[in-house]
Amino acid sequence: MGFKLERLIRENIRGLKPYSSARDEFVALGADMIFLDANENPNANGVNRYPDPHQRSLKAVLANQKGIKESQIVLGNGSDEILDLLFRAFCEPSKDNIITLPPTYGMYKVLSDINVIENCEVLLNEDFQPDVKAILSKVDAHTKLLFLCSPNNPTGNLIQSEKIETILNEFQGLVVIDEAYIDFANTESWICRLNEFPNLVVTQTLSKAYGMAGIRLGMCFASEEIITILKKIKPPYNVNELTQERALIGIINEKKVSNQISAILNERNKFKETLKEFNLVQKVFKSDANFVLVRVDDAKMRYGQLLDKGIVVRNRSSQPMCENTLRFTIGTREENKKLLAALKELDL
């Protein structure tokens, strides 16, 4: 059975006529037109007009950088909005299901709960890699989406590409690869394989490596057919004017981003080495991201002790296979030093 996108789309979305603003059709004609169509305040202040619903300037740069067409991009208010669009476009409440691979990013499950979609969990193996056979055995006619996070949060590792490839070939629903941390990993994005796999969806964000969590910009890359459906259901002005402007400045400055990434990775590697010297540290997991998962003697106690010293980290112990683990984000050199000093004081 070949891949058929039509089969995956929710019935109500298939026939949906999207909201269209009058501006949609005319904004491309030129800046010297008079716009009396949207009930805006006419006095210019930089933000008195509605933003471009198609984010043309931003997509032009992104398409060029990623080597794809603008029609293969949809942008959102953080990747969390992109993930929600995927649920609303493809998953019929109380009927369809998704597959997630814990321990992983918590948002997939929250979104499945919000949208009343069954979440079939297939645990990663001991090496935090997918059990492909077990995953494929869970698939049924209602399995619409499969979420792979690579590098994975909270474990920090990349998912092996052979495993992803098998899943892409064998699963006839959409495979969503969440690449929030891809810029920290020494590997290529799955974006370059989009033309090979009609069921591949890649999400990225400006929240991590690009240092712009505050503006909320999520990116989704897929076939034109998939993107057309997502664009149909996205709120027209979901990416605001200030975000579009700030994002453009941020992504054009590639050198600055790559320098920051190198500095963070340097800090991470030094941090990991020092951690290994502590008695309270039992295991430092391999990381391809800007955080490190660490198994300690007593995560709840150590979390509380660090909090008392004014340092907030993340206790991931409630996740399967993550008993007694803390997740440390790599901060500035000063912040990392303070964290290490605090751990040293606790390390009797």
Q: Which is nearer to ligand PLP, 105 or 128 (CB)?
A: 105
Shortest reach from residue 25's CB to ligand PLP, in Å:
30
156 binds ligand PLP (CB under 6 A): no
205 binds ligand PLP (CB under 6 A): yes
- Taking contact as CB under 6 A, which single stretch among the options 38-46, 202-210, 293-301, 313-321 is the one that binds ligand PLP? 202-210
Position of minimal CB gap to ligand PLP: 78
271 binds ligand PLP (CB under 6 A): no
Element (H, E) at 201: strand 200-205
Tokens of 53: 């619903």
**What is the C-alpha to C-alpha distance for residues 277 and 147, in angstroms, rounded to an integer?**
36
Shortest reach from residue 210's CB to ligand PLP, in Å:
10
Q: Which is nearer to ligand PLP, 150 or 280 (CB)?
A: 150
Shortest reach from residue 216's CB to ligand PLP, in Å:
7
Q: Contacting ligand PLP (CB under 6 A), which of 52, 84, 178, 288?
A: 178
**What is the C-alpha to C-alpha distance for residues 139 and 171, in angstroms, rounded to an integer?**
8
Tokens of 214: 């505050």
**What is the C-alpha to C-alpha distance for residues 90 and 95, in angstroms, rounded to an integer?**
11
46 conformational bin, left if phi > 0, alpha if psi -120 to 50, beta if neither? left
Tokens of 126: 């001991």
Q: Contacting ligand PLP (CB under 6 A), which of 72, 112, 150, 153?
A: 153
Helix count and strand count (H, E) for the chain: 13, 11
143 binds ligand PLP (CB under 6 A): no
Residues 75-104 touching ligand PLP, rule: CB under 6 A, are 78-80
207 binds ligand PLP (CB under 6 A): yes
Tokens of 222: 């897929």
Number of residues that bind ligand PLP (CB under 6 A): 13
CA-CA distances (angstroms) from residue 224 to 22, 71, 236? 24, 6, 18
Cα angle 161-166-167, degrees, rounded to a multiple of 5 = 95
**What is the C-alpha to C-alpha distance for residues 57 and 3, in angstroms, rounded to an integer?**
33
Dump the DSSP string for 294-326: EEES-HHHHHHHHHHTT---EE-TTSTT-TTEE
The site map against ligand PLP for 243-262 (x = CB under 6 A) is --------------------
Q: Contacting ligand PLP (CB under 6 A), which of 135, 180, 200, 340?
A: 180
Q: Contacting ligand PLP (CB under 6 A), which of 84, 218, 280, 330?
A: 218
Contacting residues toward ligand PLP, per CB under 6 A = 78-80, 105, 149, 153, 178, 180, 205, 207-208, 213, 218
